[in-house]
Structure formats: C-alpha cells, structure tokens
Chain A
Amino acid sequence: MQKISNRKIKDLPFNEMVALIKKNDAATLKELYKTNFHKVKRYVYKNNGGEQQAKDLYQEAFIAMWRNIKEGKFSAESETAINGYLFQIAKYKWLDHVRSARYKNTTFINREMEYNEPEVEENEIQNRKIKIIMDSISNFGERCQLLMKLFYFEQKPFKEIAKIMAMDEASARNAKYRCQEQLKKMTPIIPNGSK
C-alpha cells in the first residue's frame, strides 16, 4: 500500500482531466471540489446564506457539473472553464433557491446575480427514480454496497474487485449479479414507468 501522491489538476491537460472525471477518479474529483468550494461559499455568504446552505448548494452544483461532463453536455477547453462552469451552476441554483417561496416576500436585489443561465438540463422523472434507487442502496448490505461501488463507481475490473473482497474472480462476478438482482427487487421501479 502506498500513499497516493498529490496531483494538481491544473497540471493536467484538459482532455485528460475530463477523462479522469468521467472515470470518477478520486484525486481529480477531490481537488476540483476543494479548489472551488470557498468561492461558492463566499458568494452564498454575500447573498444572505449560511455554512450549511453553501455546502448543500455546492454539492448539488458539483453533482450537476459531474453529470453533465459524463453525459458530454459540457465541452470546454480548459480547467478554468470547468471551474467557471461549476461556479455558474452554483449561482444558478442559488438564484433558484432565493426565488423559492421562503424568499418570495423578502426584497432581494443583487445585480451580481444577473448572468446567463447555464444549460443544466435536468430530467426530473429520471432524477426522482435515481433518488428512489439511492434510498434502496442505503439500505443495502455492506458487502453488496462495496461490490457495487467498486464495480460502477470506481470501475475496477473483476480481478481487482476479487482481490479487495478476498474472493476469487468467478465468485465476485456471481456476487455482483446477485447483489444487482437484489437491488432491483428492493426498488420496484422501471425506467419507463410501466411497472
């Protein structure tokens, strides 16, 4: 086991960085997260928000950015553009938040918040389904959760998963199949809503 060296995302070519984000590379995601949080936090504070709101908003924006990059909905040529895009989504979401019922009766004028809305295409039905499935995952057994994480999130090959889980490769494959079937049974939804 070795300590993973601290890579700086700014040293990476842009395409490589996008590829790493798509693969859910932990070091890249972490650095991107840590690099941009304070700017969003300052923005939220300046606009009457607090610590928890800044965190929730930022995480929501981060996930939206990650999803759009994965789905090829965002293309840019530099890391700075990714940082700007993330900030833009956060601003958009904050604007959405201040427009919500809670803020309707308060006077809230901030010229800084006038900007071009980024293209955050959100499929509400799909998001609801994802939320339902995520709730099921939280109730999943620890071992199945780890297996699914290693396979789908860290995208490790079965050979490596087998090593981590202290089992042989064929057993890891069978276990992944069984866990996935179990998750489907725990989540009685079907993508097109026909069930």
Chain B
Amino acid sequence: MSLLERLFANIWFTGAVKVVAAFALLLVVVILLVWIERKVVADMQNRIGPNRAGPWGILQTVADGLKLLFKESVIPRKVQLGVYLAAPIAAMVPAFLIFLVIPVGRPFHIGETRVTLQVTDLNVAVLFVLAMSSLAVYAVVLGGWASGSKYPLLGGIRATAQMISYEAAMGLALVPVVLLASAQSAGETGLGAMSLSRIVDLQQGSFRWMIPGWFVFWLAPSFVIFFIAAIAETNRAPFDLVEAEAELVGGYHTEYSGFRFALFYLAEYLNMFNVSALAVTLFFGGWLGPDFGLPPWIAWVMPLFWFFLKTFILVFVFVWIRATLPRLRYDQLMNLGWKRLIPLSLVWLMVFALVTAVRTWGWPWERVAG
C-alpha cells in the first residue's frame, strides 16, 4: 500500500495512469455508443438492427472496426497529401483532449494522497472545452479541402460556416453557468468558477424540497441553447449538413477509406459523448447522486455509475433527435443560429446577470437607503 501511495504522489505517474485510463475508457465508450445508436435507431424505425455478432449484436462495432482496420486505405490521386493524412488525426486529438478536464467521479484517497478522477483540473476548464471544440472544425475543413474533390470541399465549407455560427451560441450559453458558479462561491478562495470540479461541487445540496441543486433548475434556457448548439457543433442530425448523404455523398469524408475513415467516425462519436458528459457536468450535477447508504466498498462506484448513467441518458436524447427530426436546410440552419439562438442567449444572459446582481447586492435603491 505504501508503494502505491508513493507512486500516486508522483504527478508524472498519476498523469500517465490517468491519460491511459481515459484513452481506454473513451475507446470502450465509443464501441458501446455506436452499438447503442444503431440499436435505438433500429428500434425507432421498427427494425431489428445488428444482432449477429455477439449477444444482441454488441460486438458489431468491434467487427466493423476490425474490418476497417484491414481494408485498403485508398489515397486518391489529387489529394494534398500532408493535410489529407493529418486531418483524421486532427479530428481525434481535440475529441480526446476535451475529456481530460471532465471529472467522472468523486476524488478518493490512497493513504495521504488525493487522487481525482479527472486527468487535469484546469482553472479555465470551460474555456479550454470551448477552445478544443472550436478546433474540431479544422479536421472537417482540411479533410474536405485536401481531398481535392468537389463534394468534400462543399462539406468543408458548410462546416466552417455552421461551426462558427453555433460556437457563439454555445459560448454564450455557458456564460450564465460561470456566473452562477461564481455567485454561489462568492468570497471563497480556491479554484475559479470555471473549473469543472468546482462547478460540480457547487451543485451539491438541494434546490427545493427533494429536487437536487443541479444548475439546470436555474439555467434551463442555457441548457436548451447549449444542447442545440452542441448538436450542431458535433455535426449530428438534424444539423449534419456537412455529410448530407443525399447531396454530398459522404461530405467531408467521401474520399477517406479504411482506418482514416474510422478515425473520423470515432471522433464524431467521441464528440457526442464529450458534449453529453460536459452537459451533465455543467447542468446535471456531474457525478453527484445518492449512494443509498451502501457499504463503502460499493458506494465508491456510485459516483461513476451516476455520471455514466446521466451521460448515456443525454446520448440517448442525441440518438432520439437523430431518429426523429429531418435534416435542416442550409438557410434554416443559419437563421436558427444567428437570428434565434444567439439573440435568445444574449437576452437570457442579461436577464440572468440582472437576477444574479440583485440576489448578490440587492436592488440599487435598497442599497442607497441602507
């Protein structure tokens, strides 16, 4: 035990362990996600879905992944080789990096050493997430351009415009979260209100009666805006104009095959998972949840259980929306982003800032009188 403690006191060791664990976790999650999506969509469309590989077809994704790994990677003649090869990697890197700042469970102690279940606890984590999600667009744009073919290029151009539009709404939807967090932690020192672990801690306790103190009960409009923008940011239906099959063949990844295509595919699902995990962390109390007074050896697992339960519920909503709504037209997409979501989030931000100011300092005339 002493050796373990000494090992975990070393930040390089802890860091390496956490990174490897996060990497493995994400890969397993993606395998599950693809299967869940195919099964749920199949159910909603009155089909059976994958049912051959393993029980309930759960190994279908593994089989598909292996198939893609062994397929020939065709490189078309007119590609810009360097960028063409780099684009799938550029899709993966931000997707993995976002997950590093999300706390997935309650910190625990090995002897004296505190081990957090998140790779790093940045004091600007909210901004870091926005930065990484804004980099995700490059993979799509550059992949589309470097393919040297018209459909991918059109997909890439659509991606730029779409992602810029919805990034603004996404960022604005997150400002009230930081505002609420800093208002609730007023006067306390420590990590700032943009640290995700701090935001989770602040959601402890209850809102009213039996309702938990999750931020979504204060910030429901923010959550709705965030979720819509997140669907657009991850290029999921109904905002998947980037890869609209009916118009653009495969969109930006038309010219990719084999493992490079698999990387794009993986990144899409990782982003969906990340965004859900982020929404859970910011609005639904992260890993917080009752442990029902279970004995310690099992209660330790409960935060992880709650985190993944909540995240997979949101992932289910993603899939549900995909199976339900038809794809938007391009002008509808732009209208929704610039003329609805951004003004709405600005108005909501101002209303919420006003409420927070009054709650913190009281009405201005009261202050003058008192």
Whether A associates with B in a native complex is no
